[in-house]
């Protein structure tokens, strides 16, 4: 991942002492909190520093500007999610399609739901960010993982695995985000999650049936 961020978004330096690492953690956490409590347009360097319990100057020691802070935050988060998905995919090599889809939806949903506040904060932060490259890198990483998994399925293969895979991911990612943006009850959410799995499964069945028919 980490498609080497453009210079103006790269961190200035990495922490060398334990103290500095804690400071960085505090800054990231503070960023999320401010994002949630005040929104993107009230996310100021001063406020973040204050909340983190450090001075603004400290923040600028690590990041050349506000954007780079948000960039780093997104990078960190996407990395975690990507890793979870990759791990899940590796764990399901050779399994049945049904197991794979189930696991994939669960893993992604879980990763996003674990700390839904953070997820929401990051969806917001990303808007005003030149992070297409970041998203793209994330997408490709996940793509590779899921393709490898699906290709190893014990119970079916697809004419256009690439297309099927891309579709699957677009649908899963998109649906999760959409659900996040609405204010549904927990049970409604759980229901949709399960329906989403059903939907993906029936799609894959149809897609391989398609193949058989040709």
Partner DNA sequence: CCTCAAAGCGAAGAATTCTTCATATATTGG
Partner DNA sequence: CCAATATATGAAGAATTCTTCGCTTTGAGG
Give the footprint of a second copy on this chain (CB under 8 A): 39-41, 124, 127-128, 132, 135-136, 139, 163-164, 166-167, 170-171, 173-179, 181-183, 188, 191-192, 195-196, 198-203, 205-207
Token code pair at residue 54: 């450090």
Q: Is 16 in the site for DNA (CB under 7 A)?
A: yes
Q: Which residue in the set 20, 36, 98, 171 belongs to the binding site for DNA (CB under 7 A)?
A: 20
Q: Which residue is listed with tokens 């503070």?
A: 30
Using CB under 7 A as the binding rule, whether residue 19 contacts DNA is answered as: yes
CB 177, min distance to a second copy, A: 6
Residue from the set 66, 93, 120, 211 that interacts with DNA by CB under 7 A: 66
**Smallest gap, in angstroms, from Cβ of residue 136 to a second copy?**
7
Q: Which residue lies nearer to a second copy by CB, 114 or 136?
A: 136
**Least Å from the CB of residue 207 to a second copy:** 7
Distance from C-alpha of 203 to C-alpha of 43, rounded to nearest angstrom: 42
Q: Which residue has the tokens 């069945």?
A: 205
Nearest distance, CB of residue 193 and DNA, angstroms: 37
Asked whether position 185 contacts DNA by CB under 7 A, the answer is no
End-to-end CA distance of the chain: 38
Among 9, 34, 35, 54, binds DNA (CB under 7 A): 54
- CB of 5 vs DNA, minimal distance in Å: 15
Among 3, 13, 106, 188, indicate the residue that binds DNA (CB under 7 A): 13
Interface positions with DNA (CB under 7 A) = 13, 15-20, 22-23, 41-47, 53-58, 60-61, 64-66
């Amino acid at each position: 991942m980490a498609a080497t961020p453009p210079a103006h978004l790269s961190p200035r330096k990495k922490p060398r002492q334990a103290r500095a690492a804690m400071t960085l953690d505090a800054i990231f956490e503070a960023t999320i909190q401010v994002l949630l409590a005040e929104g993107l347009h009230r996310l100021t360097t001063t406020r973040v520093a204050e909340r983190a319990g450090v001075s603004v100057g400290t923040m600028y020691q690590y990041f050349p500007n506000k954007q780079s802070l948000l960039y780093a935050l997104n990078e960190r988060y996407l990395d975690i999610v990507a890793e979870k998905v990759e791990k899940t995919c590796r764990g399901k090599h050779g399994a049945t399609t049904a197991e794979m889809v189930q696991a994939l939806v669960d893993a992604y949903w879980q990763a996003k739901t674990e700390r839904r506040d953070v997820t929401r904060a990051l969806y917001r932060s990303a808007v005003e960010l030149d992070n297409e490259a970041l998203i793209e890198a994330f997408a490709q990483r996940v793509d590779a993982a899921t393709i490898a998994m699906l290709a190893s399925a014990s119970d079916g293969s697809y004419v256009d695995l690439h297309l099927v895979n891309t579709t699957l991911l677009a649908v899963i990612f998109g649906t999760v985000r959409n659900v996040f943006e609405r204010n549904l009850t927990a049970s409604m959410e759980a229901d949709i999650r399960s329906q989403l799995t059903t939907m993906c499964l029936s799609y894959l069945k149809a897609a391989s049936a398609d193949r058989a028919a040709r």
